Structure 1
C-alpha cells in the first residue's frame, strides 16, 4: 500500500488504516471530521467546528470554512483532515456535496500554492464487529 503522506495531497483520497502512525512519521497533524450525524448544512458546519476545534465565533458558512482551512495562523503546515463516514454522507448529502467539495479542494489547492499540505482522507467506519 502506498503511503499517502509520501506524496503531495491529491484530491479526496482513501484514508489508510494506520493513519495516525503514518502521519506521526511524516510530521502531519491529524484532525477528524465526523459526517455520521450530518443531515444538513448546519450539521455539516457543526461537524467541522467540532473536528477542527473551532470557537463558537466560526461563521458556519462556506467562506468561513474555506478561511479556517487555509489560515496559516490556525492550521499546521501539514494537515490531514480525516473525513469519517464520507462515502455514506456523499449519498445522503448530495445537495451539500458540490459546495463542500469545492471548498475542500480549493483549500487543498491554496495550501499547495503556499507550500503547505492539506490531505483530505475519506474514512469509513469499520463494519466488522471484531474491530468494535
Structure 2
C-alpha cells in the first residue's frame, strides 16, 4: 500500500490513518498544530508556537513562520506537520487559512530546493458521537 511518505511532499495532503506510527516508520519527525481554538491571527500563531515547540522568540508573523519551516539548521531534514482540525478552520476563517496555506506551501517548495522534505498533512478530528 502506498504511503504519503513514499513520495515527495506536494501541497497539503490528507493525513494517513495512524500518522504518528507511519511517520516514525519513515523516520519523519512529526509535529502537530491544532486549529480547534484558532479564531484570529494571534491565536493561530500561538497554536503554531505550541505545535512546533518554538521558543518565545518566535516572531508570530508570516515571515517568522516561513523562516522556521525552512531553517535547515534548526529542523529535521524530514518533517511532517500534522494540521489537526484544518478543514473546519478553513471554513471558519477562509482568509486567514489562505494566508497560512500560502506561507506553508512556499516553505514546502523552498525547503525542497534545499534538499529537505516538509509534509503538510491535514487531519480531521474524529466526530464525537456524544455530540450527535
TM-score (norm 2): 0.94
Runs of 4+ in 1 over 3 A off after TM superposition: none
Match of 1:45 in 2: 45
Match of 2:19 in 1: 19
CA shift, 1:2, in A, is 2.7
CA shift, 1:11, in A, is 0.2
CA shift, 1:76, in A, is 0.6
CA distance in 2, matches of 1:46, 1:58: 10
CA shift, 1:129, in A, is 4.1
Deviates further, 16-25 or 63-72? 16-25
Match of 1:88 in 2: 88
| Alignment length (residue pairs) | 130
CA distance in 2, matches of 1:127, 1:66: 31
TM-score (norm 1): 0.94
CA shift, 1:17, in A, is 1.2
| Residue 63 of structure 2 is aligned to residue 63 of structure 1 | yes
Please provide the CA RMSD for this pair: 1.3
CA distance in 1, matches of 2:30, 2:121: 10
1:42 is paired with a residue of what secondary structure? helix
Unpaired stretches in structure 2, ≥5 consecutive residues: none
CA distance in 2, matches of 1:125, 1:3: 20
2:23 is paired with a residue of what secondary structure? helix
Unpaired stretches in structure 1, ≥5 consecutive residues: none
